[in-house]
Amino acid sequence: MTNARRACGWLVLGLCCALPICSSAQQQLPEDPEDDKRFGLWLDQGVSAALWTNKSLEIETHERFDEGASNLYEYFVQGGVAFRLRPWFMVLPIYRYQRYQGSATDYENRILFNLTLSRPQGAWRPNFRTLIEGRFPNDRPASARLRFRPGIDYVLPLRGAWRPVLVASNEFFFVPWDNPYATGGTYTQNRFQVGVRLPITASLAVRPYYLLQSVNLPGGWDTNEIIGISLAYKISRKTN
């Protein structure tokens, strides 16, 4: 009986020592390096080149500043071929190379699968984008993330061939599996944005936007304001 009590005592002591170690390991997970801090400025550039009737080459570059738009903390380039299987359904596999500044993670390779549904109804253009991401940072284990972005576009009833378009969306981020970064739950991030797409020419448009990025950290949600400017250029396919 004495030996059993002694064994139980050692077991309890071992558990008491292990719990703080496990808690410390959880607390030491780094924050996701893509999280914006304080007021931010995001610059986006995209080129869409028509290849065939229902296919196009999509290339984008992005630069992101935080800390009052004074610190370039992230930039990346990505590209892929879009397949428009139906007028209302697009599939776009993407490869992205991403660099970070001032973070333990120097760079990240990312594989994305974009599924976009869109069916215009007069001046209204409801849309729904799903992104499936595979993230491969240089200093952390690989992980997967799901992103769902319902949105609505509204073409302003103005005269002229190139009319401005109001754009609004809300994106939900989920990591239902192992997450190598510190988070307060499976629902890791939310991005709400509104903007207006202004056609400059038949092939060039600029879209200024306002975005609220909310990040679910272990200590609670942290929300930061971001101003963005997006440029989009389309290259049409020449036909004989």
Q: Is residue 7 part of a domain?
A: no
Residue 5 per-residue DSSP state: H
- Would residue 114 count as lying in a domain? yes
13 within a domain of the structure (yes/no): no
Q: Which residues pair with 146 in a beta bridge?
A: 132, 174
Containing structural domain, residue 101: 39-235
**23 falls within a domain:** no
User: What's the CATH code of the domain at 191?
Assistant: 2.40.160.40
DSSP state of 163: -
**Does residue 20 sit within a domain?**
no
Is residue 11 one of the residues assigned to a domain?
A: no
Residues of the chain with pLDDT under 50: 1-5, 7-26
Residue 1 domain-assigned? Answer: no
pLDDT at 4: 45
SS3 148: strand
The residue written with tokens 């924050």 in the block is 31
Give the per-residue pLDDT at 18: 40
Q: How many domains does the chain have?
A: 1
Q: Which two tokens stand for residue 128?
A: 């729904």
The reply to whether 17 falls in a domain is no
